[in-house]
Structure 1
Amino acid sequence: MTNNPIARLAINEEGFVFDPQTGAGFTVNETGRAILGMLKEPGKGPGDKAREESIALGLSDRFEVPYGKALADAGDFIQQLRLHRLL
């Protein structure tokens, strides 16, 4: 069993996300897929600001957006995951 709840999620190329533990499914856009992918990496759980900053750097590079926008998007997405009890 992992201490990273995101690791259990199945994510397909179209952005459908399935949680086999709860049976919940939802869709995300390309940015959401990228964030979830980074959260699934060891040491990149949603627990601290440094991880969000690391994710934002990855988003900024990948999507060529300003770091501040990427940081806000990452924070908002992680907050939504928490609100929906996925974290």
Structure 2
Amino acid sequence: HILVNNAAAVTDRHAVADIPIDAWREAIAVNLTGAWLMAKWSIPHLRAAGVPRGGHGFASGRQAAAPVGSRWAPGATGCTPKA
């Protein structure tokens, strides 16, 4: 049993100082909140299936985190299930 968080908001890239607030909110909603929600709701199922606590991993790609590149990944690391 595994959870694969494989979604990203792909929009135009901007320098950090030029990111429109709507683009920022979309990136956070999909890339961080989306990963957290998937982890939150998968944990009971992973536990029920006997997945040991700490049986998790996290991977991200630079292209998956537009518009701010891979800078969001440290926030998403904490959203990976630790059943």
| TM-score normalised by length of structure 2 | 0.30
Between structure 1 and structure 2, the one with the greater Rg is 2
Q: Looking at both structures, which has the greater relative contact order when contacts are Cα pairs under 8 Å and sequence separation is at least 6?
A: 2
| TM-score normalised by length of structure 1 | 0.29
Q: Which has the higher strand share?
A: 1
